[in-house]
Structure 1
Amino acid sequence: MHDVVIVGAGPVGLSLACELGLAGCSVLVLEREPEPRSPLRVAPLGMRGLSAASVGAFYRRGMLPPLLAAAGVHGDSGASPDADEPSPPRRGGHFAGMMLDPAKIDDSALPFRLPTPAPELLMTDLEAVETVLSEQASKLGVEVKRGVTVSAVSRNGENAVVAHAGADAYAARWLVGCDGGRSTVRRLAGFDFGGTEPQFTGYVMRAAIADPEKLRPGFNLTPTGMYIRMPAEGHVGMMDFDGGAFDRSQQPTRAHLQAVLRRVSGTDVTLDDVHLASTFTDRAMQTTTYRQGRILLAGDAAHIHSPLGGQGLNTGIGDAMNLGWKLAATVHGYAPDGLLDTYTRERHPIGAGVLDWSRAQVAAMKPDPHAQAIQAVVRDLIGTRDGTTYMFEKLSGSWIRYDLGSGHPLAGRSAPDFHLEDGSRLGDLMQDGRGVVLDFSVDRRLHGSTMGWEGRIRYAAGAARDDLGLGAVLVRPDGVIAWAGDRSPDPQAFERAAGLWFGIPRTADTVTA
């Protein structure tokens, strides 16, 4: 019996498998598709934007170089490892098709940033992401079985869950559904799943266009919908506000796609041929909880919405990073009481926020006078530094902060990439998946508190090139700051935080005065 069975070998399932494998769990991934390659997962139709939060997750696990290579990025991608100042970041994004101007982003308003080798935005395709994660999972001993369709889920007593695929049964102590928006695990386990119905049918296609000059490049909001002419030849996206009437239950024909494109573009453009096409909607739904006993959900299995802004992939990777170390600690028996419950408590509000962000964009795109009035207001706002900065915070993931019950402004945020004077970075110290204590204090006040904790927390002491005025920080394995202290950190407060998150009991003889 495995510790964990994961259903779904997409980026979310593989990210979670890597986290669990890194922590020494036995993991089996079941994937319905027999082969990893698909035309919809490679460029141009498979292109996705990885946010700073997602790229940072790859960086902290040592997977940034292969990710950049797989994405075709060479040379300086952010800050060089020894840089004191960041290189000009690669940025972009839009709200409802209205593009942001990177020059208007106010870096001083972005919280707690430090130079890092990880870029703030990375354009790549799904196949590249999955290739990097698959190679990492293989190194960590994760087993992946393809061509397996889960047809039933049962509970074997209190300590096991069984995924059934025909005559085969796969038992594990825990089961996680990472099997997408039409999740079989979610349905079989009976999770409540509610939200709002779609306003549009979206299309992406690669086609031979007889007269491409009739379509303007980039995002184009029109009185009848929206279309996007991508840089790749023949790559077009469309949004037709038909109430989601034409979704993935039907295969779009050339004639249908041409009719929609003509309607939303207001042109008589002609499609000679369609090589590949797919549809989607803006249905926005979420489960009420991400856990039922020993069954959990992550990624699109827990929340679906339109792909506007590329938030789905990034939210799913965030789910996997949050869940991985907590589930591993539970498997190994050293999780403090309630640790696994914090997965839903922390990630559900993030998913709900992303759904609302998607809904707001749809509301601004509808082809009616009300939406056009909203567009005028949004264009005025993103014409300002404050407005553009606010939008960029949402798109980059830097807005995310978990409520950890601490008043410190850094607690609950993704940790800045502190650069120590010995040349090491926080990102380097997190590759083994452990939590990290960075002790910048002159008297190394926390050293005695960390004695005997090496198996769960790495202790690193020394001055930082920029410590942001702190004396010490405790960083969870997912890169989130669990506790931060001033220049004379309190060992007792630190030990309380470590006990809360890592289950390490506080003992008087380990405290350094």
Structure 2
Amino acid sequence: MSVVIAGAGPNGLMLASELGLAGIRPVVVDPMSGPDPQPRVNRIVGQAARILDHRGLYSALTGTTEPPKPAARSMFAGFPLDLADVTGSQLFTVPVQQRGLVHLLAERAGGYGADLRWGHAVAGFDQHDGDITVHVLGPDGAYDVSAQYLVGADGGTSKTRHLAGIDFPGMSSYDLVIRIGFDVVPPDAWITAAGAGTVSGLPPLRFYRTEHGVFSYGAVGDRVAVMTYELNSAPSDQRSGEAADEPAMSVGELEASATRILGTDVPLRPVSAGRPLDLRRIRGINSRIAAHYRLGRVFLLGDAAHVHSPIGGPGLNLGLQDAVNLGWKLAAVLAGCVAPGLLDTYETERRPAAERVIMQSRAQLALLRPGLEIASLRDLFGELLTDSDTVRRLGDLLSGADNRYAPGVGRHPLVGRWVPDFAVATARGSHRVAELARDGRPQLVDLTENSAVADSLGEIDDRLTVTAGSLVGALSATAVLIRPDGYVAWASSDEHPAADELTDLRDVLKQWFGI
């Protein structure tokens, strides 16, 4: 067995699917008896929408054959971001509950031959020079699995991280209590005053900050919700998360919290009388990043590597990109195409992305806190948001579109960036770049007049997908080499690239893919 993945959440299953696409059949273990039935996440925000599109999963989740479209609006620290007129916005949203995504990814991974073992948990492991022995506890007892790598995708309380002895430095804010009521709405008069939206007549999510906290209501993905963010001045027992020994949250508790924040009664009602409510209470916020993403043959992925405030829903955007980044690199090393040193780039590329999410989520929480100084800061921040460039920059920050992997000196501006969405017209018709990426292989798109780039390579390795044609749409390049995770590895803007550019292309093909 080549890879054992601990955790069958969306990130672990995405990694399993990526490995399966490359012909690797991982073992995926999860202590739960099946996919988590809890609703949890209600939408995917950011570049992860394009990842799903590149793998043909976006249409399966949304029921549309159209490509992802940027959101017309978003939010930062309770401030509305109007993105409708922002040219080239990359802030995509996919209205899907996490359990729907998990079911789809489990089906995809299983179709590729991944061995999904529900009710099995990693109990320990021993690393050796050439492999790793993973100790697993299953329903019928303990057993061992020999593999080359173990990936911990087992959440913020990751046992894999703990067993590996990897520190998890950061901070915890124990004074904050978040209460969420899905499928709960405020009085009809509030909804009418705010203006109709697309989900149960509610507008997009609105935030109201007072000196006592934040009250929010509106559409979240394909559901509606009421939320409160309230500072708890009671003595803390240093717990965070959803405490199991507390009584379940009620609508009355959510109403009382809203009343304390707004200073007036806030009656709430279910959207549907016969529909069960989804009520959650979260005490405290952890904001941490693992000291290492890799220790020998052990890797950390998603929440096992980083945790942060849930405000804005950045978790899946970050974790799914982790999975796709690591997936093709693991597959290339296991196939013997490239040296194991390629795996070191997983942390060097993905850690900065996590650091930016932690930075912006901490900044949002700071702007939501009470105090006259914060009120003045919000006044100033509101003035800055009248500048469209500031709105664009915040949109790119929230989506992850501002991430750039180290391009190297003198490289084309697209190198290290997520490839723009464009199409190529060939004799077989027009194909979007996302459609060309479905096989999970690196792809060279040659838009030069006489296929000058592709022809310069001579006989092309069948591990590289080559498409030559004419450009449909906008792209500031005549040729691009795209990695399996959607990032540009090489590009040129010349109709007849010079010899040194073509030499650079060959070097990049060798460096990243062993081609």
1:204 to 158, 163, 180: 180
Change (3 A) 1:61 1:206: closer
Aligned partners of 1:336 and 1:500 also within 8 Å: no
2:48 to 45, 51, 54: 54
- CA apart distance, 1:332: 1.2
Unaligned stretches of 5+ residues in structure 1: 79-87, 114-118, 505-513
Give the Cα–Cα distance (whole angstroms) in 2 for the partners of residues 207 and 137 of structure 1.
31
2:151 to 162, 172, 176: 176
Aligned partners of 2:170 and 2:289 also within 8 Å: yes
Change (3 A) 1:499 1:157: closer
Give 1:498's aligned amino acid. L
Q: What number of residue pairs does the alignment pair up?
A: 476
> What residue is the counterpart of 2:405 in the other structure?
402
Give the Cα–Cα distance (whole angstroms) in 1 for the partners of residues 122 and 49 of structure 2.
31
- CA apart distance, 1:416: 1.5
Aligned partners of 1:16 and 1:323 also within 8 Å: yes
Q: What's the TM-score once normalised by structure 1's chain length?
A: 0.85
After superposition, the C-alpha distances for 1:368-397 in whole angstroms (9 at most, x for unaligned) are 112112211221122221221111111222
Change (3 A) 1:276 1:168: farther
> What residue is the counterpart of 1:143 in the other structure?
115
Give 2:469's aligned amino acid. G
Report whether the alignment pairs 1:262 with 2:259: yes
Pairing 1:104-503 to 2, within 5 Å after superposition: 105-107=85-87, 120-165=92-137, 167-198=142-173, 200-206=176-182, 218-231=206-219, 235-242=225-232, 247=240, 248-249=242-243, 250-252=245-247, 253-254=249-250, 257-269=254-266, 276-279=279-282, 281-336=284-339, 338-407=341-410, 408-422=412-426, 423-466=430-473, 468-487=475-494, 488-489=496-497, 490-503=501-514
- CA apart distance, 1:40: 2.8
Give the Cα–Cα distance (whole angstroms) in 1 for the partners of residues 27 and 507 of structure 2.
35
Change (3 A) 1:271 1:426: closer
- CA apart distance, 1:366: 0.6
- CA apart distance, 1:218: 2.6
Q: Percent identity?
A: 33
Give the Cα–Cα distance (whole angstroms) in 1 for the partners of residues 262 and 450 of structure 2.
67
Aligned partners of 1:336 and 1:502 also within 8 Å: no
Aligned partners of 2:25 and 2:112 also within 8 Å: no
Give 1:345's aligned amino acid. T
Q: What's the TM-score once normalised by structure 2's chain length?
A: 0.85
Change (3 A) 1:37 1:162: closer
Change (3 A) 1:75 1:280: farther
Give 1:55's aligned amino acid. A
Q: Secondary structure of 1:464's match?
A: strand
Give 2:52's aligned amino acid. F
- CA RMSD in angstroms, aligned pairs only: 2.8
Change (3 A) 1:234 1:346: closer
Give 2:461's aligned amino acid. E
Aligned partners of 1:92 and 1:121 also within 8 Å: no
Q: Secondary structure of 1:204's match?
A: strand
Change (3 A) 1:90 1:497: same
Give the Cα–Cα distance (whole angstroms) in 2 for the partners of residues 205 and 246 of structure 1.
21
- CA apart distance, 1:37: 4.6
Aligned partners of 1:449 and 1:495 also within 8 Å: no
Greater shift, 149-158 or 92-101, is seen at 149-158
Aligned partners of 1:16 and 1:324 also within 8 Å: yes
Greater shift, 395-404 or 232-241, is seen at 232-241
Give the Cα–Cα distance (whole angstroms) in 1 for the partners of residues 37 and 463 of structure 2.
39
Change (3 A) 1:163 1:222: farther
After superposition, the C-alpha distances for 1:398-418 in whole angstroms (9 at most, x for unaligned) are 212111314321000011233
Give the Cα–Cα distance (whole angstroms) in 1 for the partners of residues 122 and 374 of structure 2.
43
Aligned partners of 1:4 and 1:175 also within 8 Å: yes
Give the Cα–Cα distance (whole angstroms) in 1 for the partners of residues 437 and 66 of structure 2.
22
> What residue is the counterpart of 1:29 in the other structure?
28
Give 1:193's aligned amino acid. F
> What residue is the counterpart of 1:67 in the other structure?
61
Q: Secondary structure of 1:151's match?
A: strand
Unaligned stretches of 5+ residues in structure 2: 195-204, 271-276
- CA apart distance, 1:336: 3.7
- CA apart distance, 1:357: 0.5
> What residue is the counterpart of 2:11 in the other structure?
12
Greater shift, 15-24 or 386-395, is seen at 386-395
Q: Secondary structure of 1:456's match?
A: coil
- CA apart distance, 1:194: 0.4
Give 1:218's aligned amino acid. R
Give 2:420's aligned amino acid. P
